[in-house]
Amino acid sequence: MRGGGLSLLTRSSFAAGLSLFLLATLPESLAQQTASSSGAPRIEVVESSQELHETLEEKPPLTFGASRTANLTITVDDTVKYQQIDGFGASLTDSSAWLLWNKLTEPQRKEAMQMLFSPTKGIGLSVLRQPMGASDFALSDYSYDDLPSGQPLSPGDPDLKHFSIDHDRAYILPLLREALVLNANLKIMASPWSPPGWMKTSGSMIEGTLLPSAYAPFAKYFVRFVKEYEAAGVPIYAITMQNEPLNIPGDYPGMGMTAREQIEFLANDLGPAFRDAQIRTKILVFDHNWDLIAYPIQVLSDTKAAAFAAGTATHCYGGSVTAQNELHERFPDKEIWLTECSGGDWQTGKLLQQQVRLAIGAMRNWAKSVVLWNLALDQNREPYWGGCTTCRGILTVNHAAQPSQIVPTVDYTA
């Protein structure tokens, strides 16, 4: 049963289970290399201890011997197929990119990027979810179409004359291109935390909703973003329309968007805009927590909107992962991606087991990806603009030390 829970793992069963999982996901060319000199199948073992005294340590391989079970029959039903896995990753937030670019030497930065993205010398992350503009982990509020000082909010910039991704050219885009060199299979998603303030009822990137007059300009905004990122050497695999549309934070960029509003925007503006521009980037609905699953059900139940949607993006901060199974049962032709799940100081107990269970549970409930949050934060869990003060990165960049130190966290090991 795909939606079932997961039992606690002992250290030994965790190591063996993780090794089997890694073996099952190896490319065929690598899997063939796991045969012993005698020709018997062999499992490569990589082990991390619960206390992190050992992290991704290579152990002697295990070799299958002669079967001790009489009359053992294994039947494989190749007519039953599940989802294809896009991969595992995190987000190169403005904060993460700034740290990697500015607080590490060039050799250290290359080491960190290799640790993160190399399939042979690192953990081979294969999915990134990029904020389109500022998020809660940024050095400032910014969008890709901020008005010049003194220009009135109305009518704003409906023709996007001021659109620019120059902010990202400084350190985000160079790191994304480097990641693509390290892992050619990397898929990059993108999500806005907020449109430009002039598009919103609040007049800023904080709070508010999308003005009716801004639906068409916001669709153009996505088109421009996808095209300009691709021109900069970074193709966008998928987008969501709004990060956490039912969360309207008061201290960092965000925007409310009801399911009805998302239906109208997707069906009448964004979907047609992508179609007319011949953009093949996938459009995902929702991008929020499992306990709010009625939202994507409503959006995907609208025939006109659903025609433009590839599937649903989910977060882990509320509810149960089994909500994804309900989504799949209702909409089997629409796929599911887990697009955000940060670790942090609120977690207690056996963190390594928790993170492994997150990945396994998500995939058992139809997720094509498991994406954590920040790739890197510093020793103070910064820089951050608002919201979470105790979130954890996959790497910690300790720039209080001289020279700076790159410290993998439990999320890197998991």
Written as one string, the DSSP assignment of 267-318 is IIIIHHHHHHTT---EEEEEEEEGGGTHHHHHHHTSHHHHTT--EEEEESSS
- Inform me whether the pLDDT recorded for 283 exceeds 90: yes
Q: How far apart are CA 340 and CA 216, in angstroms?
A: 27
CATH class for the region spanning 87-413: alpha beta
Give 124-152 pLDDT, tens digit per residue: 999 999 999 999 999 999 999 999 988 99
For 373, phi then psi, to 5°, come to -120, -115
Total Cβ atoms within 10 A of residue 409:
20
Q: 84 burial class (0-12, 13-18, 19+ CB within 10 angstroms)?
A: exposed
pLDDT of the residue at 60? 86
Q: How far apart are CA 327 and CA 297, in angstroms?
A: 7
Does the annotation mark 244 as catalytic? yes
Look up residue 146 and give its DSSP letter. Answer: P
- Inform me whether the pLDDT recorded for 52 exceeds 60: no
Give the confidence band of 30 by pLDDT, cuts at 50, 70, 90.
very low
Catalytic residue among 228, 264, 335, 340: 340
Mean pLDDT lowest among 51-60, 205-214, 216-225, 257-266: 51-60
- Inform me whether the pLDDT recorded for 123 exceeds 50: yes
Domain boundaries, the chain: 1-81, 87-413
pTM: 0.85
Give 241-252 pLDDT, tens digit per residue: 999 999 999 999
Does the annotation mark 340 as catalytic? yes
Residue 150: partners with Cβ closer than 8 Å, 6 or more residues away: none
Give the confidence band of 71 by pLDDT, cuts at 50, 70, 90.
confident
Q: How far apart are CA 351 and CA 411, in angstroms?
A: 9
pLDDT of the residue at 18? 43
Q: For strands 57-63 and 282-289, give the pairing.
A: unpaired
pLDDT of the residue at 414? 62
How much is the average pLDDT of 47-55? 58
First to last CA, the chain: 24
Catalytic residue among 228, 244, 261, 264: 244
The more confidently predicted of residues 226 and 7 is 226
How much is the average pLDDT of 81-103? 97
Q: How far apart are CA 210 and CA 63, in angstroms?
A: 59
Report how many helices (DSSP H) and strands (DSSP E) the chain contains, helices first: 14, 15
